Structure 1
Amino acid sequence: MQRALGAPGGRSLLDVGAGDGRLAAAWAEAGWSVQGCEPEESMRGVSRRERPQVDTIDAGLPDLPFADGAVDVVVANFVLNHVASPRRSAAELRRVSRGAVVATTWTLSPSWFWAEVTERACVAPFAGAKLTAEEDFERTADGFARMLRDAGLERVVVTEHGWTWNADPDVLWYSVEGGVAGAGALYARLDADDRRRFRAAFERVVDERAVHGALPLEHRAAVAVSPFS
């Protein structure tokens, strides 16, 4: 990805949906002048505490507080799959960049794992906000590319990458207790009895599927680069 963007040379990069600032800090270490924006207060706190070299502000899609063409490069890592209006948000990324836009989305995530845990715990699955048919897009590399082109990103190139994450079950459980993603949102809404059943179901699935103490979870992601005009 960095090769596609050219040499940093102190050029400016905006990380939209920067989370805890981990990737923004990596861009900064590579030589970019980085700013992050993150709408979630607790994530901003982690970024500011652990990665003070990155200026992280309170902002998020679909409206960013930057002028047209404010930065050289805009990056949005696994953000467009969470917003209420992917096309409007993608157009906003293009608006604030005078150069390249980089965006990623999941084409395969370990949601099956949490669906199995939820079913075994006999609790109702988390029903998050659903996109309308007009807003949704096919969660494939081609579908992601079509959505971005609809939003006005020209000459967008999308590649798909796959890997297996050998996850530490303890880390997965900490993420649930911390309210991360759909599984965390579900757990936060459960009463004490349902939480005990959910934890027991989690442990059963881990016992059945773990290999040498780790959970092999397959992932695939689409990486889109809309290059310089």
Structure 2
Amino acid sequence: MGREFVDLFDRWAESYDDTVHGVDDEYKEVFSNYNAILQAVANSSVGNVVEFGVGTGNLTSELKARGVSITGIEPSEKMRDIAREKHPDVTIHEGDFLSFPDFENGVDTFVSTYAFHHLTDEEKKTAANLYFRTLNRGGKVVFADTMFTDDTAKQRMIKRAENQAFYNLAEDLRTEYYTTIPVLSDIFRDAGFDIEFTSLNPYVWLMSAVKKHDN
């Protein structure tokens, strides 16, 4: 359920904001247009919003500016501490993509940035079905994350990172559960969603999956 990455995020918590804002050359392209990516997710969010992988609360800021009702879910204690300090008015639960509280008024939008790849494809399938059951009618999943048009494109980006001597990035792309758009399309369509993708930078795509009917 992505919990194997919690220790990494506990260690990364203090420097995370520096990384996403371009201090680390190795990951600068991964996080290019970072603020615009957050805004794209926030602008697609409506109603009662559940944010997975709150991290240090950067997307939370954009959601608050939009005026939606927000509940955060974050497995890393260190990340939760930073996010709660930034946003004492937002409830942030310990949890993950597959483990979160029930919501009395349901959920209209599930959102996340740079996190869904911490699930295997089988776990993504479980998540998509869970979200379909949880969402209110017409609700949606809006995730921005690194993904690829196909496996050839993924291997090309790994090779490109190695040629740039970005060996940590290459290892991340090789070992974490980054998937492809066709796989995600099948997962969410099989779960009952209409889905579309928009490229936001050379690594990151915006995925919008809308629940149109109840199975």
For Structure 1 versus Structure 2, the TM-score category normalised by the shorter chain is 0.5 to 0.7
Could you tell me which runs of 5 or more consecutive residues in structure 2 were left unpaired when the two chains were aligned: 1-39, 149-153
Could you tell me which runs of 5 or more consecutive residues in structure 1 were left unpaired when the two chains were aligned: 132-136, 164-217
Matched with 2:180 is 139
Matched residue count: 160
Separation in structure 2 between the aligned mates of residue 86 and residue 69 of structure 1, nearest angstrom = 24
Separation in structure 1 between the aligned mates of residue 53 and residue 140 of structure 2, nearest angstrom = 17
Q: What is the deviation of 1:13?
A: 0.8
* 1:225 matched to 2:201: no
TM-score scaled to structure 2, two decimals? Answer: 0.60
Q: SS at 1:43's partner residue?
A: helix
**Kindly tell me: are residues 130 and 18 of structure 1, through their superposed partners in 2, closer, same or farther at Cα, counting changes over 3 Å?**
closer
Separation in structure 2 between the aligned mates of residue 220 and residue 49 of structure 1, nearest angstrom = 28
* 1:195-221 superposed Cα distances (whole Å, 9 cap, x missing partner): xxxxxxxxxxxxxxxxxxxxxxx4341
Q: Which of the numbers 54, 63, 71 marks the counterpart of 1:27?
A: 63
Separation in structure 2 between the aligned mates of residue 94 and residue 69 of structure 1, nearest angstrom = 15
Matched with 1:105 is 145
Q: SS at 2:85's partner residue?
A: helix
**Between Structure 1 and Structure 2, which shows a larger proportion of helix residues?**
2
**Kindly tell me: are residues 92 and 20 of structure 1, through their superposed partners in 2, closer, same or farther at Cα, counting changes over 3 Å?**
farther
Whether the 8 Å CA contact 1:69–1:95 is kept in 2: the answer is: no
**Kindly tell me: are residues 77 and 118 of structure 1, through their superposed partners in 2, closer, same or farther at Cα, counting changes over 3 Å?**
closer
Q: How does 1:50-61 map to 2 (within 5 A)?
A: 50-61=86-97
Identity of aligned residues (%): 17
**Kindly tell me: are residues 103 and 127 of structure 1, through their superposed partners in 2, closer, same or farther at Cα, counting changes over 3 Å?**
closer
Larger Rg: 1
Whether the 8 Å CA contact 2:43–2:66 is kept in 1: the answer is: no
**RMSD of the TM alignment (CA)?**
3.4
AA aligned to 1:40 is S
**Kindly tell me: are residues 148 and 128 of structure 1, through their superposed partners in 2, closer, same or farther at Cα, counting changes over 3 Å?**
same
Q: What is the deviation of 1:70?
A: 2.2
AA aligned to 2:80 is R
TM-score scaled to structure 1, two decimals? Answer: 0.57
Whether the 8 Å CA contact 1:74–1:100 is kept in 2: the answer is: yes
Separation in structure 1 between the aligned mates of residue 77 and residue 186 of structure 2, nearest angstrom = 32
Separation in structure 2 between the aligned mates of residue 101 and residue 68 of structure 1, nearest angstrom = 19
Separation in structure 2 between the aligned mates of residue 36 and residue 130 of structure 1, nearest angstrom = 23
Q: SS at 1:117's partner residue?
A: coil
Whether the 8 Å CA contact 1:48–1:54 is kept in 2: the answer is: yes
Separation in structure 2 between the aligned mates of residue 49 and residue 115 of structure 1, nearest angstrom = 40
Whether the 8 Å CA contact 1:107–1:139 is kept in 2: the answer is: yes
AA aligned to 1:153 is G
